[in-house]
Amino acid sequence: MTHTNMYQQKLVSAAEAVKAVKPGDWVDYGICVGHPVATDKALAARAGELNDIKVRGGITMWMPEICTTPEPAKHFTWNSWHCTAVDRKIIEMGLGYFSPMRYSELPKLYRENIEKVDVAMFQVAPMDEHGYFNFGPQASHLMAVCERAAVIIVEVNQNMPRCLGGFEEAIHISKVDHIVEGDNPPLAQLKANAITDVDRKVAELIVAEIPNGACLQLGIGGMPNAVGALIGESDLKDLGVHTEMYVDAFVDLTLQGKINGSRKSIDRYRQAFAFGSGTRKLYDFVHNNPHVMSCSVDYVNDVHRVASIDNFVSINNAVEIDLFGQISSESSGIKQISGTGGQLDFVLGAYLSKGGKSFICLSSTHGKSGEVKSRIVPTLAPGSIVTASRTCTQFVVTEHGKVNLKGMNTWQRAEALISIAHPDCHDNLIKSAENMNIWRNSNRV
């Protein structure tokens, strides 16, 4: 049977495809711009006849239709691998939960620990001449999901870019149960926040530490975006990319001639990533582009692989850091904000890299005018999750300076972190450090 004949045989409406979902099922939606649209809407239409449907998703960029049905918690439970503002809203609505994990382990979790995947449904690029549906800019863990799924539904979107890679970036039509042709909605766009003065000051301190030929990993947020902008204004050259998330900054730097991957010790001349989200500029750039490499996350985020790349520079945000050097980047108390993602993997891998450096950046304060609070705190708020332990932390950067905590004892760490806190917070932090016996009187000036 030809691929075309097989395609026609498996082509069904969204309503027909989601009949595969039964009460009590576990359903996987994929992540990010790969979340289904037509099949999600069709599943929502069945809410009245379904109960105990447990859906896995994450990095959610729009509100799923199943979460907008009347009394959705009676029918659906949302389980997020990584929270966005949308995921947080779903949790607040009372039908969502966070699923803790190290992102690098997610494919293995599916293959060895996830109890079952009854139905997998996600958006893909149109089938190619060889019968493959490309996952688009979210290879991530989708092949592992498909290997476990009892039923696989692909929702074709003509706007989904075809992201090259070499392994686990596409699924063959022979493995697919149902094909749905959606309305080809434009991909959701993630626009970078405007760069603030604080972002720029932090970025200046980090860019000064980046050598020519470095391999970059940028997290999401204003500060990593500012680093990209300042690199574009610098004399740096021959940079490489090996990153969990591919963002617009990498496109800009490539077009500016800053990124070519010529000095990478693996995957030379290619930019490796696990998932990508940005503006239309990014989606157009990654489409059929052999310079970028869409890979499963257990390849990209593997600590040993990161460590094998010389001069690896990892740049990520944090919510808070305490005077012991513990980093909380995913929650504020018990309120889930994002997730562990790959931060711990890149913090570890970058330090192990020959010439590598790991940077955790954050503004010194947060809050509205008159309610300013320090992000450098004596101890993390009760319930706050430690994303990277104190033994892993290397560089910490605020607009007031940068410090390298490696090799420091507790009083040295306290002194270093207080030195880059907001000046108005110094006295209270010193008092707390004294009470915790991590301050030496000789430090006071």
CA angle 385, 388, 389 (to 5 degrees): 95
C-beta separation of 29 from 51 below 8 A? no
Closest CA to 175 of 150, 156, 155, 158: 150
Q: Within a domain: residue 60?
A: yes
Are 249 and 153 part of one and the same domain?
Answer: no
Return the SS3 of 98: strand
Question: Looking at the 3D structure of the chain, how many domains does it have?
Answer: 2
Give the residue ranges of DSSP H helices in 122-166.
Answer: 142-148
List the structure tokens of 50.
């379904």
Residue 125: the pLDDT is 98
| Stretches in the chain below the pLDDT threshold 70 | 369-370, 441-445
pLDDT tens per residue across span 230-272: 999 999 999 999 999 999 999 999 999 999 999 999 999 999 9
Are 237 and 341 part of one and the same domain?
Answer: yes
Q: Within a domain: residue 189?
A: no
Are 83 and 141 part of one and the same domain?
Answer: yes
d(CA 30, CA 146): 10
Are 140 and 239 part of one and the same domain?
Answer: no
Are 140 and 254 part of one and the same domain?
Answer: no
Q: Within a domain: residue 131?
A: yes
Q: Within a domain: residue 192?
A: no
Provide the CATH number for the domain around residue 89. Answer: 3.40.1080.10
Pairing of strands 312-317, 357-361: parallel
d(CA 251, CA 216): 13
Are 33 and 155 part of one and the same domain?
Answer: yes
Share of the chain above pLDDT 70, in %: 98
Among residues 181, 215, 249, which one ends one of the domains? 181
Residue 280 backbone phi and psi in degrees, to 5: -55, -30
Provide the CATH number for the domain around residue 324. Answer: 3.40.1080.20
Are 142 and 245 part of one and the same domain?
Answer: no
Among residues 154, 181, 208, which one ends one of the domains? 181
Among residues 181, 207, 225, which one ends one of the domains? 181
List the structure tokens of 375.
């992000």
Q: Within a domain: residue 166?
A: yes
d(CA 436, CA 101): 31
With helix as H, strand as E and coil as C, how does 204-229 read? HHHHCCCCCCCEEEECCCHHHHHHHH
Return the SS3 of 235: coil
Are 362 and 226 part of one and the same domain?
Answer: yes
Residues with catalytic function = 244
d(CA 152, CA 145): 9
Are 20 and 91 part of one and the same domain?
Answer: yes
pLDDT tens per residue across span 102-119: 999 999 999 999 989 999
C-beta separation of 443 from 411 below 8 A? yes
Residue 226: the pLDDT is 86
Are 327 and 370 part of one and the same domain?
Answer: yes
Residue 440: the pLDDT is 87
d(CA 409, CA 304): 27
Q: Within a domain: residue 348?
A: yes
Are 412 and 305 part of one and the same domain?
Answer: yes
Are 89 and 222 part of one and the same domain?
Answer: no
Q: Within a domain: residue 188?
A: no
Residue 166: the pLDDT is 75
Q: Within a domain: residue 190?
A: no
Residue 191: the pLDDT is 84
- Residue the block writes with tokens 């979902």: 21
Quote the domain boundaries for residue 10.
Answer: 3-181
d(CA 168, CA 103): 16
Residue 194: the pLDDT is 81
Residue 443: the pLDDT is 59
